[in-house]
């Protein structure tokens, strides 16, 4: 972190190099901040890369005690998933369609749009990705949850607006 200008509220810095020292309030001009030197456990957001003429979904591995940012193009730190194992949804898809693809074991990427869901998107397989691109907005039409995750490990949900 290059610099930090004081603020009026408490700030939290986790794993940031150059973060200010923790201080509970702004007395005496100190920055009201909570600082944790290392991020205990984290995973970067999944992302898409193009390799020649084909696309891959990259799922970063978990990292522990992380300090600082991840190097750009750090492909070694991610699982590469061929797009044959990915379903790209559109706003015209129903919850039933999306759930069917998840039940097949596919990762799901949601294109930008407003998804009117009459049931929850349910993720019940370990290590699946539900990734919204742009403004993938999920709207419940029956008062139901938009997303439900079963008792499974490693699920990644990112980039969706609820």
Cβ 85 vs Cβ 106: under 8 Å: yes
**Neighbour count for residue 96 (Cβ, 10 Å):** 11
Residue pLDDT, tens place only, 5-19 = 666 667 888 898 888
**Predicted structure pTM score:** 0.82
Residue 11 confidence (pLDDT):
82
Residue 22 pLDDT more than 90?
A: no
Confidence of residue 162 (pLDDT cuts 50, 70, 90): confident
Q: How many CA atoms lie within 13 Å of 37's alpha carbon, on the beta-carbon side?
A: 0
Dihedral sign (CA 130, 76, 154, 39): negative
C-alpha 124/C-alpha 81 separation (Å) is: 19
């Amino acid at each position: 972190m290059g610099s930090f200008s004081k603020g009026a509220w408490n700030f939290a810095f986790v794993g940031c190099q150059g973060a200010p020292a923790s201080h509970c309030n702004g007395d005496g001009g100190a920055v009201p901040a909570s600082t944790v030197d290392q991020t205990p456990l984290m995973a970067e957001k999944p992302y898409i890369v193009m390799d020649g003429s084909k696309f891959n979904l990259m799922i970063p591995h978990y990292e522990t005690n992380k300090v600082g940012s991840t190097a750009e193009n750090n492909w070694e730190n991610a699982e590469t998933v061929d797009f044959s194992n990915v379903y790209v949804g559109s706003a015209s898809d129903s919850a039933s369609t999306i759930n069917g693809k998840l039940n097949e074991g596919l990762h799901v990427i949601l294109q930008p749009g407003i998804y009117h869901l009459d049931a929850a998107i349910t993720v019940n397989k370990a290590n699946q990705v539900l990734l919204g691109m742009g403004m993938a907005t999920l709207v419940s039409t029956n008062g139901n949850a938009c997303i439900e995750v079963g008792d499974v490990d490693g699920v990644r949900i990112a980039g969706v607006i609820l």
